[in-house]
Structure 1
Amino acid sequence: MRTVSETTSVRLYHRADGVDGGAATTLLYGSLAEAMARAARESDEVQAGLFLATENDVVAYLDLID
């Protein structure tokens, strides 16, 4: 992820696996700091499907925290 500022605007979404490749459900539009805090409160199962998107990057939440 090229953007590292905590104030950067991001979309936190969950991508569920499904027959047609799954659906993306937006959980939050906000700052990176807000999105990381929200993601940390989710269960391990949900965290496995979380992604953060900026205007120029998408990264899986679990890849970001590793």
Structure 2
Amino acid sequence: MRTISSDVAVRLYHLDEGEGGAASTLLYGTLAEALTLAAEQPEDIQAGLFLQTSNDVVAYLDLIEE
């Protein structure tokens, strides 16, 4: 993921592999808000979380492990 600031607009969504890959949006907001909300989710949900900017998508767990 490219370097971005904490106030960039993102979409936080959950990709549920068990329901045919259905994506459920949890938040449209800033990166800071999305990271806070993602951290509050249970581990099994975190595994399917993704952050999307206008030009990139990254798995939440990949982002926090860097």
For the aligned pair, the TM-score class normalised by the smaller chain equals over 0.9
Separation in 2, partners of 1:42, 1:3: 24
Return the TM-score normalized by structure 1: 0.93
For structure 2, list consecutive stretches of 5 or more residues without a partner in the other structure. none
TM-score by length of 2: 0.93
Encode CA deviations 1:12-62: one digit per residue, 9 max, x unaligned. 000000363x10000000000000000000000000000000000000000
Identity across matched positions, percent: 63
Query: Which structure features the higher share of helix residues?
Result: 2
Where in structure 1 do 4 or more consecutive aligned residues deviate above 6 Å? none
Mapped pair 1:54 → 2:53: yes
- Coordinate RMSD, CA, aligned: 1.0
Structure 1: runs of 5+ lacking an equivalent: none
Q: Which amino acid aligns with 1:12?
A: L
Aligned residues: 65
